[in-house]
Structure 1
């Protein structure tokens, strides 16, 4: 929130039928289904995913469909954001913030997605899904909304709930607190007096970097055969990282599994060679 200095502020939103709405989703929880459906139906909506599992879906597709989940959310390949190629996965912060500057309103459960919109000067409402998000939103005095019931949540209601006044006041005081901390530890910031040249150099360096194009669905428009071919091209060694919920313990288990299979195949191969037989193929080992 301190990226653009103490004077950065965000206006209160005004929406219409042509309003360009951005939203983000924590894909592990079923929240905001009604608001997402309303955004898709009544506004020009763009989904900005932030998790690796969705990135994998956009790159190679997926054969899986979530069971017992809210299918109004962009968590499956059949969602309109993916089928139309509208969803955008941003690859760096500056391109992300720059892209969001063209929007009128943003909402979501992901704190980084909401802060990116606020840094772009776009009104953004945070809908906390856990205590960490709630605490960060409270510290920065972000506009937030935690309804007891979400069945009939609409974008218009979110806009009505939004107010930037508290956040705009907190931005300056939080920035001064951060600057005092830096000074107490012998550090300066590019917003300090005498650092004007450093600030200009920083801004020009950022502008010289070409913005990164967002990732969009690669499989839009492909027939079923080509989609299956694309799915088979996915890098298998990245699947654990792209699969939600993979912990360090699970990653170690996956590595141990592959090591044991490799050792078993080596043992079988040596035994077969000693008996004058060809080692079994990978396919025959899998069948066994």
Structure 2
């Protein structure tokens, strides 16, 4: 009998790739949207879990950083309270929970952050995510907390597909602006999915950083994307203050994946190589 995975947040970029790859690995997958399962409603969650009886539940649901800053209670409901609800339901059937967290839990020092660094919660989003980590681990014995890098991947049509959106923007403009003072670790959703599945084959529960190797600024990220598809659009390096937003995000969201190294699961390749692979897979959509 196949192991079963229930994915919450089925409309998201990660859920699309993770579900596809999990099926390729032989799992029986049910991916549900908010309309099909409200992760903050105990009765809705229990009905879905009782009906499907998953071995694993992946919580890929979430709301964005700025929405959390404007309405903090929404973040606490979706990221924190829902973690409690899902963890308790998983514990009832001895399922494993994967709680997708964030790289934005640290500070402004331009360094790479490991699983062993203390958190610095600059935003309401970060606080709601970190408290969700704690709730998940408190209420379920079998939890993988995954803090991932800046995600890209999935279908070109997804509104949060950073790579495709920058290509689209560059095709429509002779000059585009990009922040040179915000740093992170771009991470391909299919690569992330493979590492999560590798974790699920173990009982090494805990908190893991998963990102493609190395880091860059938003400016360097955007420049490399355009270079990879042969676009000559000029990218102007600007300060992040040129993009006013409600949330003051950390200057560095770069991750180092120490626990993947220590567990012998292994780390991912560079973000540059991941972009090249992803762009090649989208050739008909990004041809210039």
Q: Same fold (TM over 0.5)?
A: no
Greater RCO (CA < 8 Å, at least 6 residues apart)? 1
More strand by share: 2
Provide TM-score, normalisation by structure 1: 0.27
